[in-house]
Amino acid sequence: MEFCDECGSMMKTEGDHWVCGSCGHEQGRDSEKEEEMVTTEGQEHSEVVDISGAEEKGLPRTTAHCPKCDNDRAYYYMQQIRAADESETRFFICTECEHKWREDDN
C-alpha cells in the first residue's frame, strides 16, 4: 500500500504507476518494494472460539436475553474483529443452552 506524498491519501495501482484518487498525483511503481508489502489476498477469515467450560475459564457474566432459550444470563467477552479504529465486538454465551451470539456497536 502506498500513500500520496502530496495529500496523504491512499494510492491505487494503474499499470506501472501509483495514482492518488484524491489529488491525482502519480509516482512510479517499485517491484522490489512491492514484494515486501503484506497483502490480505488469499487469507481466510475464520474464527474458532471454544465456548465449553466458559465458567471454568472465568468469563464474566451479565444480564443478556438469549434469543434461543429466553434465559436472561450470559457469559461475555470482547474481541477486536474489525479494523483497529472501530470498536470491539461483544460476544455472549448463554449460561443455560450455550448458544452464542454477538453484539456490534453500530
What residue numbers does the annotated binding site for Zn(2+) cover? 4, 7, 20, 23, 66, 69, 94, 97
Cell 465449553 belongs to which residue?
A: 52
104 in Cβ contact with 89 (< 8 Å)? yes
d(CA 92, CA 78): 9
Rounded to the nearest 10°, the torsion over CA 23, 29, 33, 39 is 70
